[in-house]
Amino acid sequence: MYKTDFLVIGSGIAALTFALKVADNFSDLKVTIITKDDKLESNTKYAQGGIATVLNEVKNDSFAQHFKDTILAGDGLCNEEVVKMVVEEAPIRLEELLEWGVNFDKSSNGEFSLGKEGGHSQNRILHHKDITGFEIIRALLKKVSLKSNIEVFEHHFALELITQHHVGQQVDRDSNISCYGAYVLDTKFNKVKRITSKITMLATGGIGQVYKTTTNPKIATGDGIAMAYRAKAEIENMEFIQFHPTGLYDKLSLESSCFLISEAVRGFGAYLRNIHGERFMNKYDSRMELASRDIVARAIDNELKVRGDEYVFLDCTHLDFQKFKEKFPNILEKCISIGLDIKKDMIPVAPVAHYLCGGIKVNVNGKTSIENLFASGECASTGLHGANRLASNSLLEAIVYSHKSFMYLKATFDSLKSIPESIPTWNDKYQKPYAENILITHERMDLNNIMNDYIGIIRSNKRLLRANNRLEILYNETLKMYEESKVSRDLCELRNLITIGYLITQFSISRKENKGGFFNVDLIEKKIV
């Protein structure tokens, strides 16, 4: 049993920036960060391209252009007020990251070196070489370690949000549900703790691991969204999965997560070519390699399907090698490690699952539909991305929304009600650990195959129905395992991933118009001639 004031679930950019702010402002209150792996592990750690921000000093860019690019990428489904707010807040939040010690690259004239990515009309991406996320996490964790009122529990896996349901009250989606904290599995000691908290912040990141091929690391299993869904929070836009066009095609690394070749490499001038060396993007978009991600990913997918190939090439052979080495040292090192000399060899790439545009619905203060429950970062759906996220808008969204939640709580925290005393402890006294872990592994492989085969870049009504039927079987089998045994991280992740797969399928079945990253062949408008 454990009591805190702010329970922050996750240790990526959304979690750490929120924790730092509340710890600073409420210096006599306790902030508890729990994270299921070691504290460095997150999607944030792997972010390459950077953070999109219009800096005042840059003459040829404007908020209006960043706004327009975001709206265009989102294909008409962005919330325009949110987009305006986020792009205008970007420079102030960026300033904070600098104060916290994050280093962004500068050019020889002392100004920030700004990268470009798909869908951006200007160079506006601040970055730290090609390891921006790692640099951000390094600086934020250092700051967190200096705060005496923040404690960090690594290897603590959030299982369930605590709501009235746990104190014996009936709740439905329309009743006023409140969150009182979470049940958390300490995976080192296999003990479930009850952590109660006045405020709970879900910053659990993405869902990439539901697919067989993804840029996302192992932690990205959609736990926060699945927990929120079970607690009856509003979830939206789950059909909008963003596939990154250029995952490194390397059979060895495809098994867990796939190394990303940043879009900034195309921003730097790299070309896409089919395996015969022909450029093909001119058939799909006048912006060629720098069209927005949904368009480039679909174009590559089409080339692969038509030709029966497994990858296309990213050609960097014509680029200035010295500059490439300075800008993309991590990518270069990876290429060398698999025997590629980018001065003469082209890089094999294919689209892979990368980012979820939807998630837990939040309002402009980052508040979910459940009282005292907030969400920020990739697990939240703010309305910024619409049907397809503009590159490098994700880190930005996380810092802006963690700030908005903090500001809201600064004004309202004192009026919060106290938490009921009667919350029970987790009861699994009579259950045994699951005996056949191999079955969990098999179910997860089955799920990954279903998602890749039936709910990938191109969907159809038939595929969606197939996925739906198969997921139902997996769900029932997993539920039985869950009900009959002690909880474990593997089992709970599987259960959460199946829930995520189910949500993506249901939202895809409900969508009746192709938009952004969502494409169902049966919805193509039939032209009457």
Write out the residues near ligand FAD by the rule CB under 6 A. 9-15, 34-37, 41-44, 46-51, 132-133, 157-158, 203-206, 215-216, 219, 223-224, 260, 355, 377-378, 392-395, 398
Please report where in the chains the tokens 């730097």 appear, as a residue. 268
Report if residue 216 touches ligand SIN, rule: CB under 6 A: no
Judged by CB under 6 A, which of 34, 264, 290, 357 binds ligand SIN? 264
* Residue 260 φ/ψ, nearest 5 degrees: -95, 135
Smallest distance, Å, CB 178 to ligand SIN? 34
Judged by CB under 6 A, which of 214, 262, 368, 388 binds ligand SIN? 262
* Residue 505 φ/ψ, nearest 5 degrees: -65, -50
Candidate segments 199-207, 272-280, 391-399, 482-490, binder of ligand SIN by CB under 6 A:
391-399
Residue 9 binds what, of ligand FAD, ligand SIN, none (CB under 5 to 8 Å, by partner type)? Answer: ligand FAD
Within 8 A by CB and 6+ apart from 499, the residues are 222, 225, 226, 229, 230, 475
Instruction: Report strand pairing: 125-126 vs 114-115.
Output: antiparallel
Smallest distance, Å, CB 381 to ligand SIN? 17
Report if residue 49 touches ligand SIN, rule: CB under 6 A: yes
Smallest distance, Å, CB 525 to ligand FAD? 32
Give the separation between CA 114 and CA 126, rounded to whole angstroms: 5
Asked whether 150 and 342 are in contact (CB, 8 A), the reply is: no
The string of DSSP codes covering 235-247 is: EE-TT-EEEEEEE
Q: Which is nearer to ligand SIN, 123 or 506 (CB)?
A: 123
Smallest distance, Å, CB 219 to ligand FAD? 4
Give the separation between CA 9 and CA 15, rounded to whole angstroms: 7
Alpha-carbon Rg for the chain, nearest whole angstrom, is: 23
Q: Which is nearer to ligand FAD, 340 or 360 (CB)?
A: 360
**What x-and-dash track marks residues 350-369 binding ligand SIN by CB under 6 A?**
-----x--------------
For 524, the 3-state DSSP assignment is coil
* Residue 400 φ/ψ, nearest 5 degrees: -70, -45
* Of 99, 210, 122, 211, nearest in space to 392 by CA: 122
Residue 263 binds what, of ligand SIN, ligand FAD, none (CB under 5 to 8 Å, by partner type)? Answer: ligand SIN
Report if residue 35 touches ligand SIN, rule: CB under 6 A: no
Report if residue 392 touches ligand SIN, rule: CB under 6 A: yes
Smallest distance, Å, CB 203 to ligand FAD? 5
Q: Which is nearer to ligand FAD, 34 or 447 (CB)?
A: 34
* Of 308, 317, 312, nearest in space to 299 by CA: 312
Q: Which is nearer to ligand FAD, 22 or 467 (CB)?
A: 22
Q: Is 444 a catalytic residue?
A: no
Distances (CA, A) of 451 to 257, 270, 466, 497: 15, 30, 11, 11
Catalytic-labelled residue, pool 124, 293, 444, 495: 293
In single-letter form, the type of residue at position 444 comes to R
How buried is 108 (Cβ within 10 angstroms: 0-12 exposed, 13-18 middle, 19+ buried)? exposed
Smallest distance, Å, CB 12 to ligand FAD? 2
Residues at the contact surface with ligand SIN, assessed by CB under 6 A: 48-49, 262-264, 355, 391-392, 394
Residues tagged active-site: 293
